[in-house]
Amino acid sequence: MKPFLIIIQLFVLSFALSAQIGRTYPDGHGGRVFFPFGDISFADEVVDFQVGDPGPIEGYGVPEPILGIPDYTGDYEKKYVTLGYGGSLTVKFTDNILYDIPGPDLYIFEIGPDVEPVKVYISKNGDDWIFVGETGGGLSEVDITDHVSPTDIFRYVKIIDVKDGKSGRWPGADVDAIGAIGSSINFQLSSAVLFDFGESTLGEDKDELKSIGEKVAEINGLTIIEGYTDNVGSQESNLKLSQERAEAIKNYLINNHDIDEGKVKVYSFGEKNPVADNSTEEGRSKNRRVEVIVFPNENEDSKGVVGTWDASKWGDLHIYRYGNKIAGWYESDGGEIVGEMTDPYTFEGKWVENDSGKTCDSYVYDRNHWGSLKLKFSKDYSTFTMYWGYCDSPADEKGLEGVKK
């Protein structure tokens, strides 16, 4: 099984780590899709939009509604973009990245009665594109396995309407969101915080770097450290500086967090792959960075809890697993579960509903009807017993029995 990865960015560390909650999202056609990293999995920035000809009616040829989580609920809400006949849209992931995991890696949330096809391309830098497939025929998911290497990471996705019929008020594909199922947190360490200008010795303030080291040690997998600079100075000196800074981060992690040196690799890229405009001081500052990429050991058995369960009066419960993360949803009422396996046969987490017998003071998944949940699975994973409680109370009320379908 291939690993998943995390890239750590200093200034939003606490937010992003708290956002790593796997959950499911409505696919616009009655089903749901599981994203292991939850809300951060979706596109964050529109890079380019070329509306097709003919285009949609006024108000639907605006690309920004595609950003963030899928939120279209029906009717004529302007919560999606219509590409127009042959139109194209390019988006960027900024707080996450796309890479290859087992199974589908990318999901295009095309809404409406039909899944209108688009060609899908991905890119590391926004300039060099790889064609990875075409949606349509009821399928909106894309598996990039045959087109990339296992540790390749991508920040850009481009979709192009394939001109499958141009009549009507909304010609072309209607897209609510673009999400990376094969996703991880994307953080960059600012060299301005870690190093003096032009230097490669770490400064005194290591508090946030310490938090990163603790996370790397917890994951305990292959760690890749990449060093980058701006374009000031010669290419040779920039390559050397980026190498030395990446080595400094490596040495810190090894010496302070008991990280196995054999699991750490360092690469220097100098001024290559800028993330901002080198013609401005602000842009150059963003380009002076070190990225830490962690590939955790993914040895969890993906079988067992995964699948569809007959949950009695709540109908079918669909459970997904990614590493130790667990999420699921009920077909009957859209209720959800989220948590982790605390041992091979025990799930502990939360249930979330649109309504319940008690209202909580806090929110989970933007709802204040939730509670604690425990599922005890049989040794052969054919049944489970549910235990639950309201809000923060313990999961000590015995609930229904679930049966694997």
pLDDT digits (tens, 9 = 90+) for 357-383: 999 999 988 889 999 999 999 999 999
Domain boundaries, the chain: 6-185, 189-295, 307-404
Query: How far apart are the C-alpha atoms of 47 and 336, rounded to whole Å?
Result: 33
Cα distance between residue 22 and residue 274, in whole Å: 30
Which of 160, 153, 77, 65 has its CA nearest to residue 116? 160
Stronger pLDDT, 29 or 372, i.e. the higher one: 372
Question: Which residue type occupies 344?
Answer: P
Q: Is 316 helix (H, G, I), strand (E, B) or coil?
A: strand
pLDDT at 179: 95
- What's the DSSP call for residue 139? B
The CATH number of the structural domain formed by 307-404 is 2.40.128
Question: 235: helix, coil or strand?
Answer: helix
Mean pLDDT of 273-288: 88
In the beta sheet, which residues pair with residue 308? 318
pLDDT at 324: 66
316-368: per-residue pLDDT in tens?
Answer: 999 987 766 788 888 887 789 988 888 889 999 999 998 999 999 999 888 89
pTM (predicted TM-score):
0.77
pLDDT at res. 302: 46
Q: What is the pLDDT of residue 22?
A: 73
Q: What pLDDT shows up at residue 19?
A: 43
Q: What is the pLDDT of residues 204-252, one digit of tens each?
A: 777 778 888 887 887 777 788 889 999 999 999 999 999 999 999 999 9
Please report, to the nearest 10 degrees, the dihedral formed by the alpha carbons of residues 53, 57, 63, 66 taken in order. -120
Looking at the structure, give the CATH architecture of the domain made up of residues 6-185: Sandwich (2.60)
Q: Which helix (H) or strand (E) holds 253?
A: helix 235-257
Q: Which CATH architecture has domain 189-295?
A: 2-Layer Sandwich (3.30)
Question: Given a cut of 60, is residue 159 above it in pLDDT?
Answer: yes
Judged against a pLDDT cut of 90, whether residue 44 lies above it is answered with: yes
